């Protein structure tokens, strides 16, 4: 329901922006595509989302908090957005980078064409179009509630964990465990294999490299896609699912569901056939290779690692192609306005 409501708000914002630019044909074309319905169906009927629910995994709870945060930010409900953000970062460290698109959503509102397109429209047609200004009051309201919810969660955690080590023990066993990658049990990622092979002398260096790799991508993408904060959330979640130390199927279920919110903008994305059947192939081969290696003993670690490597490559192609398609879509809008 929340994904569907978010999609409807995005579509309303998109249609409003296109009408202001005089692109009524594009509005009529997008009226037949309900981004919210597509996104909700992609998430609900995604086999990976079903598997995480059947396996009693906590990933659906983390995904719920992220979706609550997105919906609250799109609706400019600062308390709700702050609650979702605090709970998401409390359950998992990586949603912390979503603070950038959340602030952009609260400040500028949902996704819209670049500001330059509106400026070109004003110059070409000699008309005055009101450009969305950044709302600092909403952001400050969000920061206030962020502080309130954080204090509340930390207070409850300290009370509950008072007899078992307190907050220091909690941070060490949660965030510290994520950042130090101490458990090298096989998963669908690639870090477990890398750190199983790397020398202990270089372990600290590569821990810094892999953990900082996610942070290095935040600022450039935010600068280039600041006018599309919801799409930025999708890109960040896909990058996190690709580079986090302990990925799960639920991470992919989330960003694949969010991908449906941009069905109109990404309609001309390339390699969709390759990506679709690539994800199916990895989904089928990964449990087979795991069974051959772990249970039957007829394979080795390279069998299972190959599927994880292919899975990472597929996610990389998806992120690159989706970002490229969104940039091409914005350029197409600029050409339509100036023509």
pLDDT of 68: 92
| Residue 118 CA: distances (Å) to CA of 25, 222, 224 | 17, 20, 17
Residue 259 reports pLDDT greater than 80: yes
pLDDT in tens, 274-321: 888 988 988 888 888 888 888 887 777 788 888 889 999 999 999 999
Residue 24 reports pLDDT greater than 80: no
pTM: 0.89
pLDDT in tens, 197-211: 888 888 888 888 888
Q: How confident is the model at residue 251 (pLDDT cuts 50, 70, 90)?
A: confident
pLDDT of 237: 92
Residue 81 reports pLDDT greater than 70: yes
Q: How confident is the model at residue 26 (pLDDT cuts 50, 70, 90)?
A: low
Residue 222 reports pLDDT greater than 70: yes
Interval 158-171 mean pLDDT? 82
pLDDT of 114: 62
Which ranges constitute the DSSP H helices of the chain?
Answer: 2-20, 24-30, 35-44, 47-54, 59-74, 78-91, 99-108, 115-125, 136-160, 166-173, 175-180, 191-197, 203-216, 218-224, 229-243, 249-259, 272-290, 301-338
Residue 119 reports pLDDT greater than 60: no
Mean confidence (pLDDT) of the chain:
83
pLDDT of 179: 87
Q: How confident is the model at residue 174 (pLDDT cuts 50, 70, 90)?
A: confident
Interval 69-89 mean pLDDT? 91
- Highest mean pLDDT among 78-92, 118-132, 254-268 belongs to 78-92
- How far apart are the C-alpha atoms of 119 and 325, rounded to whole Å? 22
Q: How confident is the model at residue 117 (pLDDT cuts 50, 70, 90)?
A: low
Residue 226 is classified by DSSP as: T
Residue 120 reports pLDDT greater than 80: no
pLDDT in tens, 147-160: 999 999 999 888 88
């Amino acid at each position: 329901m929340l994904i569907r409501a978010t999609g409807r708000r995005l579509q309303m914002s998109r249609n409003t922006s296109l009408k202001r630019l005089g692109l009524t044909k594009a509005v009529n074309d997008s009226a037949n595509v309900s981004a919210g319905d597509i996104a909700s169906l992609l998430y609900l009927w995604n086999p990976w989302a079903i598997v995480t629910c059947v396996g009693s995994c906590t990933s659906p709870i983390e995904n719920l908090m992220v979706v609550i945060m997105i919906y609250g930010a799109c609706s400019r409900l600062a308390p709700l957005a702050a609650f979702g953000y605090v709970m998401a970062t409390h359950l998992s460290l990586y949603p912390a980078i979503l603070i950038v698109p959340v602030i952009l959503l609260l400040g500028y509102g949902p996704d819209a064409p670049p500001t330059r397109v509106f400026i070109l429209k004003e110059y070409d047609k000699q008309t005055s179009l009101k450009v969305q200004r950044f709302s600092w009051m909403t952001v400050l309201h969000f920061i206030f509630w962020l502080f309130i919810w954080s204090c509340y969660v930390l207070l409850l955690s300290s009370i509950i964990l008072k007899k078992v080590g307190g907050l220091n023990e909690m941070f060490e066993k949660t965030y510290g465990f994520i950042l130090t990658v101490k458990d090298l049990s096989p998963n669908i990622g690639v870090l477990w294999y890398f750190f199983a092979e790397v020398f202990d002398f270089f372990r600290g260096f590569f821990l810094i490299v892999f953990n900082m790799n996610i942070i290095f991508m935040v600022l450039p993408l935010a600068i280039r896609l600041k006018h599309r904060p919801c799409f930025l959330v999708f890109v960040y979640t896909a990058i996190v699912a690709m580079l986090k130390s302990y990925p799960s199927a639920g991470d992919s279920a989330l960003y694949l569901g969010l991908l449906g919110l941009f069905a109109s903008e990404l309609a001309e994305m390339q390699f969709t056939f390759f990506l679709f059947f690539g994800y199916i192939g990895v989904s089928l081969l990964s449990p087979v290779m795991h069974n051959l290696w772990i249970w039957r003993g007829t394979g080795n670690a390279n069998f299972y690692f190959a599927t994880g490597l292919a899975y990472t490559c597929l996610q990389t192609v998806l992120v690159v192609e989706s970002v490229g398609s969104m940039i091409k879509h914005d350029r197409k809008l600029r050409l339509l306005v100036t023509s």
